[in-house]
Amino acid sequence: MAAVSVLDPQGEFQLSSASLGESPGSADVPSSEQPELFLKKLQQCCVIFDFMDTLSDLKMKEYKRSTLNELVDYITISRGCLTEQTYPEVVRMVSCNIFRTLPPSDSNEFDPEEDEPTLEASWPHLQLVYEFFIRFLESQEFQPSIAKKYIDQKFVLQLLELFDSEDPRERDYLKTVLHRIYGKFLGLRAFIRKQINNIFLRFVYETEHFNGVAELLEILGSIINGFALPLKAEHKQFLVKVLIPLHTVRSLSLFHAQLAYCIVQFLEKDPSLTEPVIRGLMKFWPKTCSQKEVMFLGELEEILDVIEPSQFVKIQEPLFKQIAKCVSSPHFQVAERALYYWNNEYIMSLIEENSNVILPIMFSSLYRISKEHWNPAIVALVYNVLKAFMEMNSTMFDELTATYKSDRQREKKKEKEREELWKKLEDLELKRGLRRDGIIPT
Amino acid sequence: MNHCPCFFRLKKGHGGSFRFLSQPIFWISDLQLPRRGPGGGRHQPIRVWVHPPRRNRTSGLSPASLGAGRGLGAKPAAATSRRRKNMAGAAGPGTGAGAAGGDGDDSLYPIAVLIDELRNEDVQLRLNSIKKLSTIALALGVERTRTELLPFLTDTIYDEDEVLLALAEQLGNFTGLVGGPDFAHCLLPPLESLATVEETVVRDKAVESLRQISQEHTSVALEAHFVPLVKRLASGDWFTSRTSACGLFSVCYPRASNAIKAEIRQHFRSLCSDDTPMVRRAAAAKLGEFAKVLELDSVKSEIVPLFTNLASDEQDSVRLLAVEACVSIAQLLSQEDLEALVMPILRQAAEDKSWRVRYMVADKFSELQKAVGPKITQDDLIPAFQNLLKDCEAEVRAAAAHKVKELCENLPIEGRETIIMDQILPFIKELVSDTNQHVKSALASVIMGLSTILGKENTIEHLLPLFLAQLKDECPEVRLNIISNLDCVNEVIGIRQLSQSLLPAIVELAEDAKWRVRLAIIEYMPLLAGQLGVEFFDEKLNSLCMAWLVDHVYAIREAATNNLMKLVQKFGIEWAQNTIVPKVLVMANDPNYLHRMTTLFCINVLSEACGQEITTKQMLPIVLKMAGDQVANVRFNVAKSLQKIGPILDTDALQEEVKPVLQKLGQDEDMDVKYFAQEAMSVVVQRLRKLDLPVKDCDEPSAPGADKNHFLRPRGPGEDAGKEGAAVRGGQSPCRAQVERLESSEASYILVAGSVAPNVPSSSSSLS
């Protein structure tokens, strides 16, 4: 019975136990005693050791490690080991080990791109606990109907809080765990989504700090993939009120790929969401951070890749006003990224179909850059774009070239008028102030 | 929301929490290239000014950081908000219905034009227009503001958050512009919409404005308009409106009728157990404030249960806010109720499993101590404090260490000494050798304050060893914190007790590899000098002060220069003449042009402190000699120095020594030397002319004093008006105008936010 022998009958460790150093015997355990031994070992593994103190309890730490290994092997290999009594014990053991208040971060402004993450000291045990838990959830004998008594909302809530862990290894395990739970516990799904919402909203509007955003988004990506059509109002709200505002966060670069994936998933499910999404991106378009602008442009191209022409027509005006601004950005990476759109065949075809709208929006920016931009590569790209436009719609192109100057003058005049208006208004205010103070008689 | 302690985290980055970084701007480099070297660099000394990174998390979301990276920039926002305040002063509530009278000029300012401005495609322009909303309202008059502008604003609230923020702020001061308190309720609809937007900063501002406006409502209007609004917000669908509602209960409760009061309490109760943690956090944050306006019975019957629930919330971010509320609630209750209702929860919070909650208890300790009174403090808080001082998280220990002094100060005087000696001091002793430097440095910043509380004997016996240990600590911040608080000890036991250990500590800091540490210790030098006395100083510290003058970092040389001036003010002219001045002047012959310039900078600040004689006899010759320096930077600094010390010199020296040298420099081949020489020349000439005038025309005593104040003293209206004629501009003496111009030319060195503004000698033509 090789499968059974993984459980060592003599291995016991307790803080008070004297029988610590005993060599693990490999005697087979009769199958009748296995469940009991399994429970016992689960209970033993509830003992937590202090890994910040690297010297204490070395033997017992090692013992727990090997016991956890035994548990992992046992649950993988054995048949019929998941009896109803084992569920509360498994959940208790896992809870004891993984649920803890995460320590304060070592650096004040932890920058995951620059700083090394603080790795979890108790990882040698923690990893095995996670490993065990995942095997438990994935076991063929696993019955959600029994487990749901123990893996409840409170459990999930604590699990979600752990996603803030600085240790990427832990977050990776958590991702798998949460994914399995979401898959197996239908009753928890809405709750999980809501709590993720809350985490994201707090992240965006309160703290700007949460380490596990990318992992949560990854899970959401697959969740969104499975949404049934037509989409529920709740899901649409999630897209507009949570996912889109996530773009405003300073550390966007850390989870942008996953976020863009989620957004595109949504649009592939329901193209009618294109307009609110693109308008949302326009609203939160970065004003000062060029790196983020480049990311936005990348995401926008992904969206345009899947956009339906009927949707494109709806948002082309605000969209190309923004693109015109990006094209004339003095930051060449931003300008370059925007100009690359013209290398995309699908986008090109959309532009061509609507050149009568897009060309007037883009023209003045392109014309100006072709004369003024400091970066020769950008100027070259702009020439190509202008050439493309010329070929698309030469009549309009000629018209715009001809009226370029007078348009600029008109703009200047308008600018002047505005200044005058404000001057008049300010005079008025001043006069009133003086009148009130009794300096000018009314 | 900035309540979670993890956002007031200790700064552990390099130079993190040094106190001297309080200045918002600091240098990262100072380039002072020799100008006529082989390459012939052409630039003025350039200082690159850099804004330290904004710490969003320490202050929550700041208005300028709406979603980092897309704010329209902090600078303009701050500047305009200041301007706006002024404007509000002119057009705000004070204006009243009468002044803002309903007489907008329709023909001149059709609303369409104004609204066009508010709708401009360019966000920046839209923002500008919104910030001048009061001007627009003024142009429209109260009637049309109410009937046209406000509905427009209410309908079109979908904009960038930056614009909405400005709008929310504007509307708070709009009561006067809509016709006074009787019409204040017209402002509620747009503010209600703003209170439901997602962005926290906008919402908070809308709530702030609503709170402001609520005070301007009549009681009737409050019940008719304001309370319904609060109720609508409190039962809104999306969490944002419910969070906003939390901040509005306390302003309308006191003025509401009893029936409505009960409703308001009911709404607050349901928000405290809201489904979303965001709302519970908002409710917890306002719990204390709300408790204060409630009747005592309701506090006991309703607030305490709410408090108990929030304090045991599943989320630590909610629990920690309950600690804050605890302070307010404790103030309201009698000792008995306090003991029975609040203390169990506070005890539990001090031992919470989340370090954030424990941190909060430590951080609010003084407030809690005052709120619960001496008896409970002694029975409950002191043991809790001991636990916090040996908490397993350094964050918590540091927060508690910060409170040591305040805690001890606030103990009742009777028996204070015993409590401190028996129950606090043993734990402090442990902390002195803590493993975490932030804990030690937090302690070092307050520990000296204990000496006044414990008196001379205890200080010598118990505290002195701790001070000495901290003075030898490996972390410079700890040593600095001790040194910066020396004055506390000086009053009790005199500084001599420490001087033996002090000196090595000072010397080590003075030579620290980090220039910011050196800068910090320089700033304490005048204080130390005053306390250690001139003899000790001459013997031990003088050489350090001189060494800083040749530091390789400009900021240190500059600070050292200013330090000398302060020392002279402290020790007197004679001391300066004997110890400082000769050493400074020797540097004029240094092969390094930077050191030669330091001589000039020293003279600039020392001349005033040293007076006319030393300046004329000892400093001036050196300055004049340096006019022949081969490095242009030195030469133009000679010109600047001459201009600076000019007011101290007498006429003869100016006429016969300074003028010729400036004339020569005015012909210099270098453009900048020429410019500064001409600048200085015009000042000197003006001064000479002014010195001449009174001598010739009036019969004032000859050789008018060297006191420059004579020339800067404010003139009465009409005084000298005829005589000076064109020279007097804007009622100021030319001298003053000159001084101001000087300052503005200095200012052009400052390169704001990284953009390089060249120091253009723009106004030279207007002078000649």
Residue B240: the pLDDT is 92
Residue B111: the pLDDT is 66
Whether the predicted pLDDT of B731 surpasses 50: no
Mutation to test the A interface, candidates B70, B72, B107, B125, most A Cβ within 10 Å: B70
Which structure tokens are listed for B729?
């501009």
Residue A106: the pLDDT is 67
Which tens digits make up the pLDDT trace of A224-246?
998 988 899 999 999 999 999 99
The arithmetic mean of pLDDT across residues A71-94, rounded, is 86
Residues 6+ apart with CB under 8 A from B29: B47, B48
Cβ distance A424 to B13 less than 8 Å, yes or no, reads no
For Cα atoms A72, A78, A81, give the angle at the middle one, nearest 5 degrees: 90
Collect all residues of chain A within an 8 Å Cβ-Cβ radius of residue B121: 321
Collect all residues of chain A within an 8 Å Cβ-Cβ radius of residue B95: 436
Q: Is A104 helix (H, G, I), strand (E, B) or coil?
A: coil
Residue B509: the pLDDT is 82
Chain B residue nearest residue A285, CA to CA: B70
Cβ distance A250 to B239 less than 8 Å, yes or no, reads no
Chain A residue nearest residue B200, CA to CA: A205
Whether the predicted pLDDT of B576 surpasses 80: yes
Checking phi first, is residue B552 left (phi over 0); if not, alpha (psi -120 to 50) or beta? Answer: alpha
Q: Is A29 helix (H, G, I), strand (E, B) or coil?
A: coil
The CA–CA distances, whole Å, from A395 to A398, B492, B530, B740 equal 5, 91, 84, 61
Least confident of A113-117, B120-124, B168-172, B625-629: A113-117
E runs forming strands in B218-280: none
The alpha helices in B364-424, defined as continuous H runs, are 365-376, 382-389, 394-402, 404-410, 416-419
d(CA A388, CA A398): 13
pLDDT classification of B379: cutoffs 50, 70, 90? confident
The CA–CA distances, whole Å, from B640 to A81, A333, B631, B735 equal 90, 45, 15, 16
Instruction: Provide the 10 A C-beta neighbour count for residue A254.
Output: 16
Which structure tokens are listed for B657?
């020594």
Residue A338: the pLDDT is 93
Name the residue among A105, A50, A96, A94 with its Cα closest to residue A72. A94
Residue B109: the pLDDT is 57
Q: Which residues pair with B31 in a beta bridge?
A: B46
d(CA B70, CA A419): 26
Q: Report yes or no: B646 and B631 within 8 Å, Cβ to Cβ.
A: no
Q: Report yes or no: A75 and A93 within 8 Å, Cβ to Cβ.
A: no
Cβ-based contacts under 8 A for chains A and B? 139
Whether the predicted pLDDT of B57 surpasses 50: no
Residue B110: the pLDDT is 59
Which tens digits make up the pLDDT trace of B6-20?
333 333 333 333 332
Chain A residue nearest residue B356, CA to CA: A104
Whether the predicted pLDDT of A115 surpasses 60: yes
The arithmetic mean of pLDDT across residues B252-268, rounded, is 90
Which tens digits make up the pLDDT trace of A119-128?
888 898 899 9
Task: Please state the ipTM of this predicted complex.
Answer: 0.82
Mean pLDDT of chain A: 85
Q: Report yes or no: B591 and B551 within 8 Å, Cβ to Cβ.
A: no
Q: Report yes or no: B683 and B691 within 8 Å, Cβ to Cβ.
A: no
Which tens digits make up the pLDDT trace of B324-348?
899 999 888 888 888 888 899 999 9
Whether the predicted pLDDT of B245 surpasses 90: yes
What percentage of chain A has pLDDT greater than the value 90?
Answer: 45
d(CA B607, CA B620): 9
Q: Is A28 helix (H, G, I), strand (E, B) or coil?
A: coil
d(CA B587, CA B272): 71
pLDDT classification of A108: cutoffs 50, 70, 90? low
d(CA A406, CA B507): 72
Which structure tokens are listed for A439?
């300096």
Collect all residues of chain B within an 8 Å Cβ-Cβ radius of residue A432: 90-91, 99-100, 138
Half-sphere exposure of B586 (CA within 13 A, CB side): 8
pLDDT classification of B250: cutoffs 50, 70, 90? very high
Mean pLDDT of chain B: 74
Residue A367: the pLDDT is 87
d(CA A336, CA B538): 65
d(CA B91, CA B173): 8
Whether the predicted pLDDT of A7 surpasses 70: no
pLDDT classification of B58: cutoffs 50, 70, 90? very low
Residue A14: the pLDDT is 41
pLDDT classification of B157: cutoffs 50, 70, 90? low
Q: Is the peptide bond before B277 cis (omega within 30 degrees of 0)?
A: no
Residue B13 contacts A where some CB pair is shorter than 8 Å: yes
What percentage of chain B has pLDDT greater than the value 90?
Answer: 18
Q: Name the one residue in this structure whose structure tokens are 């920039």.
A: B73
Whether the predicted pLDDT of A201 surpasses 50: yes
Collect all residues of chain A within an 8 Å Cβ-Cβ radius of residue B9: 104-105, 108
What percentage of chain A has pLDDT greater than the value 70?
Answer: 88
Name the residue among B188, B189, B127, B134 with its Cα closest to residue B160. B127
Which structure tokens are listed for A98?
């993984």
Which tens digits make up the pLDDT trace of B516-558?
888 888 888 888 888 778 888 888 788 888 888 888 889 999 9
Collect all residues of chain A within an 8 Å Cβ-Cβ radius of residue B70: 248, 284-289, 292
d(CA A190, CA A199): 14
Q: Which residues pair with B477 in a beta bridge?
A: none
Residue B688: the pLDDT is 80
For Cα atoms A113, A119, A124, give the angle at the middle one, nearest 5 degrees: 150
Residue B202 contacts A where some CB pair is shorter than 8 Å: no
d(CA B99, CA B114): 21
The arithmetic mean of pLDDT across residues B192-210, rounded, is 92
Least confident of A6-10, A135-139, A150-154, B269-273: A6-10
pLDDT classification of A435: cutoffs 50, 70, 90? low
Q: Report yes or no: B577 and B614 within 8 Å, Cβ to Cβ.
A: yes
pLDDT classification of A259: cutoffs 50, 70, 90? very high
d(CA A43, CA A59): 18
d(CA B726, CA B722): 9
Residue A274: the pLDDT is 93
d(CA B191, CA B175): 13
Residues 6+ apart with CB under 8 A from B179: B97, B100, B102, B142, B143, B146
Choose between B674 and A26: higher pLDDT: B674
Q: Is the dihedral of CA B216, B220, B225, B227 positive or negative?
A: positive
Residue B764: the pLDDT is 35
Name the residue among B332, B347, B257 with its Cα closest to residue B289. B332
Name the residue among A126, A129, A177, A185 with its Cα closest to residue A153. A185
**According to the 3-state scheme, what is the secondary structure of B676-699?**
HHHHHHHHHHHHHHHHHHHHHHCC
Residue A104: the pLDDT is 83
Residue A127: the pLDDT is 92
The arithmetic mean of pLDDT across residues A3-15, rounded, is 42
Collect all residues of chain A within an 8 Å Cβ-Cβ radius of residue B395: 104
Q: Report yes or no: A335 and A375 within 8 Å, Cβ to Cβ.
A: yes
Whether the predicted pLDDT of A214 surpasses 90: yes
Which tens digits make up the pLDDT trace of B381-416?
899 999 999 888 889 999 999 999 988 888 888 888
Least confident of A218-222, A304-308, A414-418: A414-418
Which structure tokens are listed for B407?
């805690």
Across the interface, of B70, B99, B135, the residue whose CB is closest to A288 is B70
Collect all residues of chain B within an 8 Å Cβ-Cβ radius of residue A321: 121
Which structure tokens are listed for A329?
């950005």
Choose between B321 and B2: higher pLDDT: B321
Which tens digits make up the pLDDT trace of B409-468?
888 888 888 888 888 888 988 888 888 888 999 998 888 888 888 888 888 888 888 888
CA A105 to chain CA centroid, Å, is 20
CB < 8 Å from A in window 639-678 of B: none
Top-ranked range on mean pLDDT: pick from B95-109, B128-142, B556-570, B708-722: B556-570
pLDDT classification of B691: cutoffs 50, 70, 90? low
Cβ distance A429 to B199 less than 8 Å, yes or no, reads no
